[in-house]
Structure 1
């Protein structure tokens, strides 16, 4: 049983593009590149329109794909200890540079962002960060090999092996600071890399339906290991077309109080209805309320 109890997360599964939902998520949407092409994996209508009217399509995708505003270091400073990352390689790029992606590509590279995380950990030696590389776009088997080698070289002995029961005390004793999930079969043979974890994602724009979905899953019973409960909202084509002046942020803010009220009622631990990691969009807003609530749940788990 994983015993890190409730962690705060900066990400949640989003729609990768306008009207196209998937089960992937991304911490790095604060630095999406509005001038980059739409991902080839996006619906054909979007990739076609991107060739015709990129000045319209790309800003629209960015507006609805942006789910964070704080940099990755600032998210960690705010109390975030779970990072969801979606990795991509630009198909026409002959170099082996990896980016993050959410409908469009990020400005920052994987190397730049994760090196920032490694530096942050060097200055916060008692902190443990859980990182999920949850999706890969246009990454070949050979590129997976090189990416895994980079990760193991970067974090080294800070990586908690998947054979460990990672309580905080165990992590402190052994010097583990990173629990790293790699959601691709190429990571299975590496003891340092954990498999993919369950993510409770409602795929709804109505906060009432999101909460109902999460409560239903809680009654069914929590998984044995790490799992994430997403309080994020998800737009669809109909919602976007009927809210043309809005964005993912405005959509989230409208329901923020209701979602935070649900978070306040949660409990860490191994009980059937306990939660493990809670994921949210736009962490750090409203005086960092989300992180403060989750930290409070860990300090006083009976409240």
Structure 2
């Protein structure tokens, strides 16, 4: 492991003391959009988009490789993403009619089950005891209320005392003192009373394929003021499914990587702090393929901590 990789793997434990004592919602945190979409199963049924799902039975052998090409949003494993410094994970879960397991998905089901993915993550946390992750479970498909109870029960039992309760926004220092390493957000009605399940984390999503429009959208969101608690600025592009020629000729990675130079320029201009324009989590596709993670982490190395003018 190189020195840079080692510092990224433990970047939280290496922060300046003033960043250790502020709320996690005021740190700049690198995030992974559709974090598990490196493990898509080309042999599984199509879950989305809806306009293609109906053609799966008839044209699946032709359709699924295309869906996988555009659904694959990451190319690093969860351990590799953690090593690179990613600390926010966008996790989308689906049930399978023919299986008792839960799977991640993005267009297709993943090969890796939720239990396998969370076991890999927990193992890594056990080796990096001062690193804290934010897990955002959302966009559930093919799941009954009883399955939500089963999944949340597994997650609470799996992470046990590593789970940070939602009583108040913690700092890294508070997490270290209490042995907390996991903030667990679960975006489903009926779990609001559970002290270990944090509510939905707001995600700023431009829903656009043009990086200039994504940047404009994010700047407009910042003008509206800082949300309470955790929030995500999403750098991920949305691809117009009506352009079939683009679908056939290119991939999500090609489209994303060509847009990143502009997006990374925007990242480098940001800062973190308690004022209304600061950034918290910044998430993107294909994390680890460029300097995104490092650029976000560096936002925590400013010489001053921005304060509210009214303080």
TM-score (norm 1): 0.90
How far off its partner does 1:239 sit?
4.0
Q: Deviations over 1:265-302 (max 9, x none)?
A: 1111111111110011101113xx11111111112265
Q: Find the residue that maps to 2:137 and give its secondary structure.
A: strand
Specify the alignment match of 1:18 in structure 2. none
- Kindly indicate whether the alpha-carbon contact (under 8 Å) linking 1:161 and 1:192 is maintained by their aligned counterparts in 2: yes
Is 1:291 the counterpart of 2:293? The answer is yes
Structure 1 pair 258–273 and aligned structure 2 pair: CA distance change class (3 A): same
Q: Secondary structure at the match of 2:239?
A: coil
Paired position in structure 2 for 1:268: 272
* Structure 2 partner of 1:21: none
Q: How does 1:26-65 map to 2 (within 5 A)?
A: 26-39=34-47, 42-43=49-50, 45-65=51-71
Q: Show structure 2 runs of 5+ residues with no match.
A: 1-22, 306-311
Deviations 1:148-178 (CA, angstroms, capped at 9, x unpaired) = 1100101011101011221111111111100
Q: By how many angstroms is 1:47 displaced?
A: 2.4
Please give the secondary structure, in 2, of the residue aligned with 1:185: coil
Contact 2:25–2:231 (Cα < 8 Å) also in 1: no
1:250 alignment partner, SS class:
helix
| Change in 2 beyond 3 A, CA 1:4/1:156 | farther
Judge which range, 236-245 or 73-82, deviates more.
236-245
Structure 1: gaps of 5 or more residues: 12-25
Equivalent position of 2:236 in the other structure: 232
Partner residue of 2:78 out of 54, 65, 72 = 72
Counterparts of 1:149 and 1:301, CA distance in 2: 43
Q: For residue 249 of structure 1, what is the aligned residue in structure 2?
A: 253
1:37 & 1:243 partners in 2: Cα distance?
Answer: 19
CA displacement at 1:110 relative to structure 2: 0.2
Match of 1:164 in 2: 168
Distance 1:36 1:272, change over 3 A: same
Give the TM-score, by structure 2 length. 0.87
CA distance in 2, matches of 1:96, 1:281: 29
What is the rounded CA distance, in whole Å, between the counterparts of 1:88 and 1:220 in structure 2? 34
How far does residue 4 in structure 1 lie from its aligned partner after superposition? 4.6
Evaluate the alpha carbon distance shift between residue 2 and residue 74 of structure 1 in structure 2; reply closer, same or farther with a 3 A threshold: closer
Q: Distance in 1 between matches of 2:61 and 2:30?
A: 35
Write the distance in 1 (CA, Å) between the matches of 2:112 and 2:118: 10
Alpha-carbon displacement from aligned partner over 1:115-141 (angstroms, at most 9, x marks no partner): 111111111000000000022111111
Describe the shift of the 1:77–1:273 C-alpha distance in structure 2 as closer, same or farther (beyond 3 A): same
Matched, 1:175 2:197: no
Structure 1 residue ranges, 4+ long, deviating more than 6 angstroms after superposition: none
Match for residue 89 of structure 1? 95
2:37 aligns to what SS in structure 1? Answer: helix
Q: Does 1:9 align with 2:31?
A: yes
Pair 49,232 (structure 1): closer, same or farther in 2 beyond 3 Å: same
Q: Once the 2 structures are TM-superposed, how far is the Cα of residue 186 of structure 1 from its aligned partner?
A: 3.1
Instruction: Write the distance in 1 (CA, Å) between the matches of 2:49 and 2:248.
Output: 20
1:160–1:176 contact (8 Å) kept in structure 2: yes
Conserved 8 A contact 1:32-1:101: yes
Equivalences for residues 181-196 of structure 1 within 5 A: 181-196=185-200
